[in-house]
């Protein structure tokens, strides 16, 4: 799950960065109005370090399952795609 969430944070941050830029470019939103997207778009190195530590510890504990990591990551990305798709259908 750590691998899936870590990968998703990167994808989510990229989406938030694009939304923040689009809100400024197309709708002239102020920095204050786009602040939450800007915050979510920033890298979080402490999360990456924690994820690295968890993944490094997993083989020692016998808990790293590459097949599950891929499945969880794929599911999370699919749920995210459904979220964004739902927004575009209702807008």
Q: What is the pLDDT of residue 80?
A: 84
HSE on the CB side for 58, CA within 13 Å?
16
How many domains would you assign to the chain?
A: 1
Q: What is the pLDDT of residue 91?
A: 55
Q: What is the pLDDT of residue 35?
A: 95
Q: What is the pLDDT of residue 8?
A: 82
The residue segments making up the domain with residue 52 are 2-90
pLDDT in tens, 10-63: 888 888 999 999 999 999 999 999 999 999 999 888 888 988 888 888 776 667
CA distances from 61 to 2, 7, 19, 56, 70 (A): 15, 22, 40, 10, 19
For residues 57-77, average pLDDT: 80
pLDDT class of 90 with cuts at 50, 70, 90: low
């Amino acid at each position: 799950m750590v691998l899936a969430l870590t990968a998703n944070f990167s994808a989510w941050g990229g989406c938030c960065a694009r939304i923040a830029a689009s809100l400024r470019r197309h709708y002239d939103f102020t920095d204050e109005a786009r602040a939450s997207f800007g915050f979510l778009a920033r890298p979080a190195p402490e999360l990456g370090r924690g994820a690295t530590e968890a993944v490094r510890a997993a083989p020692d504990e016998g808990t790293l399952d590459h097949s599950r990591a891929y499945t969880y990551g794929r599911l999370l990305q699919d749920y995210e795609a459904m979220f964004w798709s739902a927004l575009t259908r209702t807008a």
